[in-house]
């Protein structure tokens, strides 16, 4: 399976896809277990679903797609499963980076890079450098990521600036914090999708998802396809987004 060219956004702006869709890719292991297969096979099929998601996001006109690939808490999983996941991540970057670049996809990685396997770190750096000027779709991969840790990091950076006299503590506001998050420069997600039926954010984009619509799909990630993405987008369009006000606010 390959990643095809990224198509332009749909002409009907009223029914256009949300600009930023974030997905918690959940259920690879349970998908495999339900079929009597090893968990590693579930993760392999999950990579295939990831490829489909990137292709379909571009075709539907989504501008930013953020995927939760590996959380800071996932290191507590069995060593063999972690090794299988790392191999799949390396293989995905090696095999798909050129195709992503050709399709105009910009790759951006968020998460803690300290202590990562040097080869994975090299692949991350290569992917970001090669695709930095692309503008058809921004693919944000949350790898070794945790929302609380991200906010703590931002708080530490702001505190250091204030202690050094470069920032007036009285001037700190939401914009200040956003400028120190790893997603700085990106719009907040309009829609957060979670597969597997679980109804929680699991430490994903905690600050950024304050006003996102949350759609839970009762399927495991390997079964996520274009129909599932379109179903979530249709549900997004049925929501009335008030952002704390009394009336719906139009999307930017």
Q: Residues of the chain with pLDDT > 90: what percent? A: 78
Give the model confidence (pLDDT) of 196-223 as tens digits. Answer: 999 999 999 999 999 999 999 999 999 9
Residue 144 annotated among the catalytic residues of the structure = no
Query: Which pLDDT does position 243 carry in this prediction?
Result: 59
Of 14, 74, 83, 84, catalytic:
74
* 26 tagged catalytic: yes
- Binning pLDDT at 50, 70 and 90, where does residue 245 land? low
Q: Report the alpha-carbon distance of residue 228 to residue 207 in Å, rounded.
A: 26
Q: Is the pLDDT at 6 greater than 80, yes or no? A: no
> What is the C-alpha separation between 112 and 149, in angstroms, rounded?
9
CA–CA gap between residue 195 and residue 67 (Å, rounded): 12
- Is the pLDDT at 168 greater than 60? The verdict is yes
Q: b/e string for 3-22 if b means 16 or more Cβ within 10 A?
A: beebeeeeeeeeebbbbbbb
Rounded mean pLDDT, 188-194: 98
Give the residue among 161, 183, 182 at the shortest CA–CA distance from 172. 161
- CATH class of the domain at 18-146+188-238: alpha beta
- Over 80: is that where the pLDDT of 252 sits? no
Query: Is the per-residue pLDDT at 5 higher than 90?
Result: no
Main-chain phi, psi angles of 191, to 5 degrees: -135, 130
Q: Write the DSSP assignment of 121-162 as a string of letters.
A: HHHHHHHHHHHTT--SEEEEEEEEE-HHHHHHHHHHHHHHHH
Residue 194 has pLDDT above 50, yes or no: yes
Closest alpha carbon to 147 in 114, 183, 123: 183
Catalytic residue among 5, 12, 14, 26: 26
**pLDDT one-digit tens code per residue, 59-102:** 999 999 999 999 998 998 889 989 888 988 898 888 999 999 99
Domain ranges within the chain, ordered by starting residue: 18-146+188-238
């Amino acid at each position: 399976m390959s990643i095809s060219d990224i198509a332009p956004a749909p002409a009907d702006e009223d029914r256009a896809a949300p600009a930023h869709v974030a997905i918690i890719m959940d259920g690879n292991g349970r998908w495999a277990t339900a079929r009597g297969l090893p968990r590693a096979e579930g993760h392999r099929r999950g990579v295939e679903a990831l490829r489909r998601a990137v292709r379909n996001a571009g075709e539907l006109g989504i501008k930013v797609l953020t995927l939760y690939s590996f959380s800071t808490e996932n290191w507590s999983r069995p060593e063999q499963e972690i090794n299988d996941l790392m191999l799949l991540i390396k293989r995905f970057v090696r095999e798909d980076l050129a195709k992503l670049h050709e399709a105009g996809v910009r790759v951006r990685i968020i998460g803690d890079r300290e202590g990562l396997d040097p080869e994975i770190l090299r692949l991350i750096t290569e992917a970001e450098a090669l695709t930095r000027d692309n503008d058809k779709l921004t693919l944000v991969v949350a790898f070794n990521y945790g929302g609380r840790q991200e906010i703590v990091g931002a708080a530490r950076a702001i505190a250091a600036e204030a202690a050094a006299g470069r920032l007036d503590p009285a001037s700190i506001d939401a914009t200040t914090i956003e400028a120190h998050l790893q997603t700085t420069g990106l719009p907040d997600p309009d829609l957060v999708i979670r597969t597997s039926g679980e109804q929680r954010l699991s430490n994903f984009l905690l600050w950024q998802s304050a006003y996102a619509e949350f759609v839970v799909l009762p399927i495991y990630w390997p079964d996520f396809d274009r129909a599932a993405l379109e179903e979530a987008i249709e549900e997004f369009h049925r929501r009335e987004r008030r952002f704390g006000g009394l009336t719906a606010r139009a999307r930017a």
